[in-house]
């Protein structure tokens, strides 16, 4: 299989720059004009680098361009000094994704979101008729006690210098802000009523819902709600013995599920 190549682009937002990285496979049709790219939305502590080798493999397996970006305040993107509001998931789709789309020059797209990125991808799919497919992986659809318990456990873990240092390798001096953006937001009483219930019926494109059976941040109620509530067709995949990061824990299986899904619905 031909190895994919990557290219970095900086996206101007008016509040700072976002790092976007694009993977293409030479000799395969990855032109956004003829084949919709896959856009990756990272999790609450994520960034481009933390996707590791998955985007390159996804480009190779699907023959599509894959685009990932660091949200403002994360990874190599510029810092963000304000606190996230309770509507930050919807805001990402309304405010920042259109800038990425415009400056990188694509119209049609496939939205693929991990964890909280799944909610962002869902909002993008609902907002844009040019979204050809939605893929959610370990996405939360509401605030569950299990989700809060997992975050509180992680909060204790990140009090340890070693854990904080590992995260700091990816977020640098933005690490404290990143942790608060996750822990402070999700544990806030103001966020307790958040859910995807209202937006899911607005998703008209085919949807693939991937979730680990042992996900520490959300029970099977999340993928089941997403699959039965979207306005288009849905395929539900619960991966046995898998926790919150299926694309790392079950990389080959996730690549196959995604490739087969896209070949069926977007070929």
Q: Cα–Cα distances in Å, from 141 out to 63, 193, 246? A: 30, 11, 17
Cα dihedral 228, 232, 235, 241 sign: negative
pLDDT of residue 184: 96
Q: Which residue has the higher pLDDT, 1 or 165?
A: 165
Mean pLDDT, residues 68-73: 98
Residue 26 binned pLDDT confidence (cut-offs 50, 70, 90): confident
Domain segments of the chain: what residues? Answer: 5-142+195-265
Residue indicated by tokens 């997992």:
150
pLDDT, position 112 = 99
- Kindly state the percentage of the chain with pLDDT values over 90: 92
**Secondary structure (DSSP) of the chain:** -PPPEEEEEEEE-SS-EEEEEEEE-TTS---TTTSPPEEEE--TT--TGGGTTHHHHHHHHH-S-EEEEPPTTSTTSPP--SPPPTTHHHHIIIIIHHHHHHHHT--SEEEEEETHHHHHHHHHHHH-TTEEEEEEES--SB--HHHHHHHHHHHHHTTSHHHHHHHHHHHGGGHHHHHHHHHHHHTSGGGTT-BSTTTGGG--S-EEEEEETT-TT--THHHHHHHHHSSS-EEEEEETT--S-HHHHTHHHHHHHHHHHHHHH--
Residue 30, pLDDT above cutoff 70 = no
25 pLDDT band (50/70/90 cuts)? confident
Q: Determine whether domain 5-142+195-265 maps to CATH 2.40.30.10.
A: no
**Residue 2 scores a pLDDT above 90:** no
Q: What is the mean pLDDT of residues 100-105?
A: 96
For range 69-75, the mean pLDDT: 98
Residue 34 has pLDDT above 80, yes or no: no
pLDDT confidence bin for 28, thresholds 50/70/90: low
CB proximity list for 72: less than 8 A, separation 6 or greater = 13, 15, 16, 18, 78, 80, 96
Q: What is the pLDDT of residues 150-189, one digit of tens each?
A: 999 999 999 999 999 999 999 999 999 999 999 999 999 9
Per-residue model confidence (pLDDT) at position 266: 87
What is the model's pLDDT at position 27? 60
Q: What is the mean pLDDT of the chain?
A: 95
Residue among 22, 184, 17, 182 nearest 96 (CA)? 17
Residue 62 confidence (pLDDT) = 95
pTM for this entry: 0.96
Selection from 194, 193, 207 nearest residue 122 by Cα: 207
Between these two residues, 60 and 26, which has the higher pLDDT value? 60
The rounded distance, in Å, linking the Cα atoms of 9 and 19 is 6
Give tens-digit pLDDT for 48-66: 999 999 999 999 999 999 9
pLDDT score for 33: 45
Backbone conformation region of residue 159, classed left if phi is above 0, alpha if psi is from -120 to 50, else beta: alpha
Mean pLDDT, range 222-235, rounded to an integer: 98
Residue 98 pLDDT: 97
């Amino acid at each position: 299989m031909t190895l994919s190549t990557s290219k970095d682009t900086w996206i101007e937002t008016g509040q700072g720059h976002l790092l976007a990285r694009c993977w293409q496979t030479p000799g395969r049709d990855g032109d956004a004009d003829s084949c919709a790219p896959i856009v990756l939305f990272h999790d609450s502590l994520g960034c481009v680098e933390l996707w590791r080798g998955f985007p390159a493999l996804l480009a190779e397996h699907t023959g599509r361009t894959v685009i990932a970006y660091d949200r403002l305040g994360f990874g190599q993107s510029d810092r963000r000094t304000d606190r996230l509001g309770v509507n930050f998931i919807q805001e990402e789709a309304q405010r920042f994704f259109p800038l990425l789309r415009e400056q990188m020059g694509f119209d049609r797209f496939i939205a693929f979101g991990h964890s909280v990125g799944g909610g962002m991808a869902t909002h993008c799919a609902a907002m844009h008729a040019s979204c050809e497919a939605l893929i959610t992986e370990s996405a939360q659809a509401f605030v569950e006690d299990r989700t809060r318990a997992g975050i509180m456990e992680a909060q204790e873990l990140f009090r340890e210098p070693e854990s904080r240092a590992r995260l700091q390798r990816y977020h640098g001096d933005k690490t404290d802000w990143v942790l608060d953006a996750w822990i402070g937001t999700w544990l806030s009483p103001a966020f307790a009523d958040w859910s995807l219930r209202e937006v899911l019926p607005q998703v008209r494109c085919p949807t693939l819902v991937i979730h680990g059976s042992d996900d520490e941040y959300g029970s099977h109620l999340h993928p089941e709600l997403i699959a039965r509530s979207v306005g288009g067709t849905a395929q539900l995949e619960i991966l046995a013995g898998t926790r919150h990061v299926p694309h790392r824990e079950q990389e080959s299986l996730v690549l196959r599920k995604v490739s087969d899904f896209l070949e069926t619905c977007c070929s």
